[in-house]
Structure 1
Amino acid sequence: MAKDNTFSGMAHNALTAETTIVGKIVSQKDIRIDGTLEGRLECQGKVVIGETGQVIGDIVAVNAEVVGRITGNVMVAEMLVLKATSSLEGDIQARRLAIEPGAVLNGKCTMLQQLDDGGDA
């Protein structure tokens, strides 16, 4: 099951290797996936998909770093990083995107606009 850890003074959640969750995860804090999630992940922090991590479903987060595999769509409000060993089969929406050589991306990418703080109503 997911558990709460302390890393660098910040609390975060972790799904360890050899663990599978089927369903939806909603997290207010950062989360690291080293196991398998079959379902949707919604995070109001940073999502890290570790080298042994796999998500089959959509991800919605503020920031994300992918080292493992995702089969599904990813919507990131800020920065998405695809590391060299990552594989993403699905569409991306992100404000900023970094793709290392060797990463696999099969899908459509839409870059989100920076919101204007002008406040015109």
Structure 2
Amino acid sequence: MFNQKKHPPMRNAIGAGMQVQGPCTFEDGLQIDGTVLGDVLPASEQSVSKIVIGPTGQVQGTIRADFIVIAGTVIGNVQALEALELQASAHVQSEAIQYRTLEMQTGAVISGQLQPQLMPPSTPAKTILTGEDQAV
């Protein structure tokens, strides 16, 4: 679904069996197959961010990224600044589910208010930093 824009590399992971407590920030992409008890937010709003919550992944807190794919469980607000994909195994319980574009597979379960967002006309483009672009 997310072929329209270039995606950041998936450099970070919370593996199955791991539990992280408290707010969690990340750069580029984050794969969650374990449990996060707290908010999951990009470290910078200037670069493109992506969160993938696998089928065994669970988050209790707000999640925010440009691109979000959910196959696991989220209890908390969801803020997909660009696109949100809910796979068939997704379970989302939220007061607010915000997105610009939404893809939802048959079987996904959501409880909450869907809030499509319009992009402001003067929003600056975000950049993707590669290994060569980053200072050592």
TM value normalised by structure 1: 0.86
Q: Deviations over 1:9-43 (max 9, x none)?
A: 93510000000010111112100000000000002
AA aligned opposite 1:81: E
Aligned counterparts of 2:10 and 2:91: Cα–Cα separation in 1? 27
4+ long deviations beyond 2 Å: none
Query: What is the Cα deviation at residue 62 of structure 1?
Result: 0.8
Aligned counterparts of 1:56 and 1:39: Cα–Cα separation in 2? 6
Q: Which has the higher strand share?
A: 1
Q: Which has the higher contact order (CA 8 A, sep 6+)?
A: 2
1:102 is aligned, of 87, 107, 117, to 107
Aligned counterparts of 1:103 and 1:47: Cα–Cα separation in 2? 17
AA aligned opposite 1:105: I
- Counterparts of 1:62-101 in structure 2, within 5 Å, are 62-90=66-94, 91-101=96-106
| Number of equivalenced pairs | 111
Aligned counterparts of 1:112 and 1:56: Cα–Cα separation in 2? 23
Aligned counterparts of 1:81 and 1:38: Cα–Cα separation in 2? 22
Aligned counterparts of 2:87 and 2:66: Cα–Cα separation in 1? 17
Q: CA RMSD in A?
A: 1.9
Equivalent in the alignment of 2:51: 47
User: Between the two proteins, what is the percent identity of the paired residues?
Assistant: 33
